[in-house]
Amino acid sequence: MTTTIPAPRTSYTPPKRRRVNWEKWGWLYMRVSGLFLVVLIFGHLFVNLVAGNGVRAIDFAFVAGKWADPFWVVWDTLLLWLALIHGANGMRTITNDYAHNPLLRRLILLAILASTVVLLVLGTLVIYTFDPCPANAVAGSLPDFCPVK
Amino acid sequence: MPENSAGTLAPQPAAKLKIKPPRLSGTLYRGREGMWSWVLHRITGVAIYFFLLVHILDTSIVRISPQAYNGVIDSYKQPIMGIGEFFLVVAIGYHALNGLRIILIDFWSVGARHQRLMFVIVILLWIVLIAGFAPEQIRTIVLEIQGHTSA
Ligand code: HEM
Ligand code: HEM
């Protein structure tokens, strides 16, 4: 058996690892999503809180008007997914920092994961199953474009 | 061939070094503005997160009935909520501006060197944002106190 001894000046090559470095991708996600969120959140706040009559203008018809436009449907979908995953991943980091008890930590991480999945599904369904002219509406609460009953 | 023989590798006199050693070298996140910027970033991140959890739930009421949604939103049009919205915007303003600073520190080649200056800029822009938003929100809160709850 021959043993090859590397030349003395050969630099150290770490063994090839095949596992995905999730921590690195999470770190990158926080930064990339953050850039998008600046635009998405300030746009959302401006339209809903500042423009026109601000928060006083919001009601069912206001939401129906926005979601009649695919632009705001896409906007809110991106906002929902990017913000919730960014926030949940941040909460995961904080949990890892402070929850020293392994059982407690697992429970908190599980709760974060479960609530994130549930809210992503709920929020997405709300946007895409939205009915601007529901049958159970009281007169006057519907947007102008609904057929009059 | 090494450029210097071992004899010339003796430490240079400190006075000749171009870069002054910082007061705490290599500790961007320990003490001073490095640490406080991080503490505030963490606190605002958690606050926004819990707001978002509630906010997705309250928006989902839009699928129950128009009356139910309008009822919930009307409770948002109370003065106390107006104050809450103000602090939400203040928190998001800081988190977003400082988040951009973090991104510049990590990706801009000279970002870490300018982190302190960038923190000053973050605080200044934050004050501008608050000053721009406050009058608008105070007007809203006053109108809400007077009972104008809808458009
Ligand atoms: C006080 C300030 C805010 C007000 C008045 C407000 C108002 C609204 C309204 C009226 C909607 C319905 C759809 C639409 O208008 O686009 C909505 C949806 C939404 N908002 Fe906000 N918003 C506020 C702050 C925020 C913030 C800070 C975030 C992100 C962190 C956010 C994330 C969302 C998301 C993800 C949806 C879609 C929810 C779903 O999928 O069911 N909002 N918001
Ligand atoms: C407005 C745009 C936003 C930007 C530019 C931004 C940027 C960032 C960045 C760069 C980090 C640092 C991650 C790290 O240190 O590895 C971070 C952390 C965090 N963000 Fe955001 N973010 C934004 C919005 C949000 C929103 C909407 C939420 C809540 C839903 C949120 C919650 C958090 C949390 C909980 C952390 C973890 C803090 C920590 O580890 O100390 N952020 N954010």
B95: burial class by Cβ within 10 Å (0-12, 13-18, 19+)?
buried
Sequence letter at residue B75: S
Q: What is the pLDDT of residues A38-74, one digit of tens each?
A: 999 999 999 988 887 777 788 898 999 899 999 999 9
Answer whether residue B67 is part of any domain: yes
Q: What is the pLDDT of residues A100-141, one digit of tens each?
A: 999 999 999 999 999 999 999 999 999 999 988 887 777 777
Average pLDDT (B110-122) is: 87
Q: Which domain holds residue B58?
A: 29-145
Global pTM reads 0.84
Expressed in angstroms and rounded, the spacing between residue B100 Cα and the centre of ligand 2 is: 10
* DSSP string for residues in B35-102: HHHHHHHHHHHHHHHHHHHHHHHHHHGGGT-HHHHHHHHHHHTSHHHHHHHHHHHHHHHHHHHHHHHH
Structural domain includes residue B72: yes
Place of tokens 């000046």: A9
What confidence score (pLDDT) does residue B11 get?
55
Please name the member of B103, B149, B151 whose beta carbon is closest to the beta carbon of A31: B103
Asked if CATH classification 1.20.1300.10 holds for the domain at A23-129, the reply, yes or no, is yes
Q: Choose between A56 and A83: higher pLDDT.
A: A83
**Mean predicted confidence (pLDDT) in B49-70:** 93
What is the band of B144 on the pLDDT scale with cuts at 50, 70, 90?
Answer: confident
Burial call A131-148: b when 16+ CB within 10 Å, e when fewer: ebebeebeeebbbeeeee
Tell me how far the alpha carbon of residue A132 lies from the centroid of ligand 2, in angstroms. 34
Q: Provide the phi-psi class of A54: left if phi over 0, else alpha when psi is between -120 and 50, else beta.
A: left
First-to-last C-alpha distance (Å) of chain B: 79
Q: How many structural domains comprise chain B?
A: 1
- Has residue B150 been placed in a domain? no
- Residue B139 falls inside a structural domain: yes
Task: Find out whether A147 and A97 touch, Cβ atoms under 8 Å.
Answer: no
pLDDT at B5 over 80: no
Q: Is the pLDDT of residue B4 over 50?
A: no
**Beta-carbon separation of A126 and B62 below 8 A:** yes
Q: In angstroms, what separates the C-alpha of A11 from chain B's closest C-alpha?
A: 17
* Interacting residues of A149 by C-beta distance below 8 A, sequence separation 6+: A139
Mean pLDDT for the stretch of residues B14-31: 59
Stretch among B68-82, B97-111, B114-128 having the lowest mean pLDDT = B68-82
Provide the pLDDT confidence category of residue B21 given band limits of 50, 70 and 90. low
What value does the mean pLDDT take over residues A5-31?
Answer: 84
Q: Is B60 in the pocket of ligand 1 (CB under 6 A)?
A: yes
Task: Report how far apart, in Å, the C-alpha atoms of B100 and of each of A42, A109, B108, B133 are.
Answer: 14, 27, 11, 20
For residue B104, give the CATH number of its domain.
Answer: 1.20.1300.10
Q: Does ligand 2 have an atom closer than 6 angstroms to the CB of B102?
A: yes
Nearest to B56 among A94, A122, A138 (CB): A122
- Whole-number Å distance, alpha carbon A114 to ligand 2 midpoint, is 20
Q: What's the gap in Å between the CA of B8 and the closest CA on chain A?
A: 23
Residues in chain A: 149
pLDDT class of A149 with cuts at 50, 70, 90: low
**Is B40 part of a structural domain of the chain?**
yes
Whether ligand 2 lies within 6 angstroms of the CB of A27 is answered as yes
Query: Hey, are the CB atoms on A34 and B69 less than 8 Å from each other?
Result: no
ipTM, 2 dp:
0.83
* Domain presence at residue B61: yes
Q: What is the pLDDT of residue A11?
A: 80
Q: Would you state the pLDDT for residue B1?
A: 45
Query: What is the spatial distance between Cα B107 and Cα B113, in angstroms, rounded to a whole number?
Result: 12
As a whole number, mean pLDDT of residues B9-20 equals: 56
Mean pLDDT of A21-44: 95
